[in-house]
Amino acid sequence: MDRDPEQVLDEYLVVLAKAGSALAFSRLAIRWTPRLRRHAARLLARPDGAEDAVQDAWLAIARNLRGLDDPARFPAWALAITSRRCFDLIRRRQRDRRLTGGLTAEAEVQAAAPGRPGAADQRLDLGAAIARLPADQRLMVSLFYGEDLPVEAIAQAHDLPVGTVKSRLHAARQTLKLFMEGP
C-alpha cells in the first residue's frame, strides 16, 4: 500500500507529540487547524463559531492524544472530536434561542429568506442545501466529501456501523437532490 508522504508526516508528528514533544504538537496543530476549521464551518453551516469549536477540539486533542492507539487514525479521530465540539456549540445555540424566546432564530430566518420573484431564485446553491441538511447527514457529507474520509474511517471514528454511515450518506444525497431540483 502506497502511503502519502503527508500522511506519514502526520503519523510521525503524532508519535512525537504523544512522547511529549511540544514542537511536534505545535506543527501538528499548524498543519491540521485549517482543515478542522473548514470541517467545523461546514457542520455549523456558517463560519462564526468554527474557530471556537476548533480551539475546544485542540484542547481535547491535547488531553487525549496519549490514548490514541494508532497514529494513522489521527485524521478521523481529530475530525470526530471537532464534530462533537460543533454539536456541543449547536446545542448551546439552541438552548440560548429557547431561553431568549426564539427572537434570535426568527431574525435569522427573516434575514436569510430569499426573494421569490422567479424560479431561479427558488433554487439553492449547494452550500445552502448542505446547510439545510439534518446535523447527522451534514456530518457524513462533510467527512466523506469534504475530508475524503472512507466510510469505514467515519464509522470507526463515530462508533457507528458502516451501514448507518452509508444510509445517512444516501439520505443526504436524496435530500440534496430534492433541494437542488426545487419544487
pLDDT in tens, 52-78: 999 999 999 999 999 999 999 999 999
Q: Which domains does the chain have, with CATH numbers?
A: 1-113 (1.10.1740.10), 115-183 (1.10.10.10)
Q: Is the pLDDT of residue 18 over 80?
A: yes
Query: If pLDDT is split at 50, 70 and 90, which confidence band does 128 have?
Result: confident
Can you give 103-137 as a three-state secondary structure string? HHHHHHHHHHCCCCCCHHHHCCCHHHHHHCCCHHH
In the predicted model, is pLDDT for residue 33 greater than 60? yes
Residue 125 above 80 pLDDT? no
Q: What is the pLDDT of residue 42?
A: 87
Question: Three-state DSSP class for 172?
Answer: helix
What burial letters (b/e) apply to 116-125, b meaning 16+ CB within 10 Å? eeeeeeeebe
Which three cell numbers mark 104?
A: 434570535
pLDDT per residue over 101-115, tens digit each? 544 444 454 444 444
